[in-house]
Amino acid sequence: MNVEIILAMDAGCGIGYEGRLPWPHCPKDMKRFQEVTSGEDKIVVMGRHTHTDILAAQKERKRKNKDIKKNGVLKGRTSIVLSSTVEEFHGAVGMKTLRDVFNEYQFTDKTIVVIGGAKLFVEALAWANTAHVTIFDKHYKCDRSLPPTLFDESTWACTPIEKVEVGDDVNAYFVTYRRNEPRNVFNSECYRLPPGYYN
């Protein structure tokens, strides 16, 4: 089992505003997200609010509930939503903690891909060996953000950066960070999380 995260943020480490991505639509970033999260060996993990935001976006695109139930909230992908209070989720499986996910898949060749939100990113980073990051080079109004020192050079190595022109004088930079010393989930210390952390 391997653990990865994928996220996008602005120049100030903001990752969202009122459940939406605040920067211009970037098809190449969407394609990258699909490539990283797709495949029979991938398990996509998200928090409850991220699941709600994805469902809202899909309903705006007129995706039918029957299709979501049959093919998953992220089409064709196994999705798990973490919550200590809610057990059932539309188009996804519910689990209580990230540790529960690890226990379920520890003896498999699956890759756990964490897609948000902010608290879950910070928690998962303790175990992740790879982080796929898109950075938009402008500041946007955000109500969710990440600490600015997530990827220090002593812990993470940065692969060559790919620059993508988004439009309206905005550029996106695709960065992949790899941990200098890969971690085994069950040899890593776990953050002690308070009750209701994922709600």
CATH number at residue 177: 3.40.430.10
23-44 average pLDDT score: 96
C-alpha distance from residue 92 to each of 81, 129, 162 (Å): 7, 25, 32
Residue 9 within a domain: yes
Higher pLDDT, 186 or 177: 177
Residue 136 within a domain: yes
Q: Torsion-angle region of residue 91: left (phi > 0), alpha (psi -120 to 50) or beta?
A: left
CB 120 within 8 A of CB 80: no
Whether the CB-CB separation of 179 and 130 falls below 8 Å is answered with yes
Residue 193 lies in a domain: no
Residue 115: give the domain boundaries.
2-187
**Greater model confidence, 168 or 98:** 98
Is residue 146 assigned to a domain?
Answer: yes
Q: Is residue 197 part of a domain?
A: no
Contact criterion met (CB below 8 Å) for 9 and 146? yes
The model's pTM is: 0.89
Position 195 in a domain: no
User: In the structure, what pLDDT confidence band is assigned to residue 26 with cuts at 50, 70 and 90?
Assistant: very high
Question: Under a CB-based contact definition with an 8 Å cutoff, are residues 23 and 140 in contact?
Answer: yes
Q: Is the pLDDT of residue 163 over 90?
A: yes
Residue 199 lies in a domain: no
Question: Number of folded domains in the chain?
Answer: 1
Whether 192 is covered by a domain: the verdict is no
In whole angstroms, what is the distance from residue 89 CA to residue 9 CA? Answer: 26
How much is the pLDDT for 104?
Answer: 94
Dump pLDDT digits (tens) for 63-102.
787 788 778 889 889 999 999 888 888 889 999 999 999 9
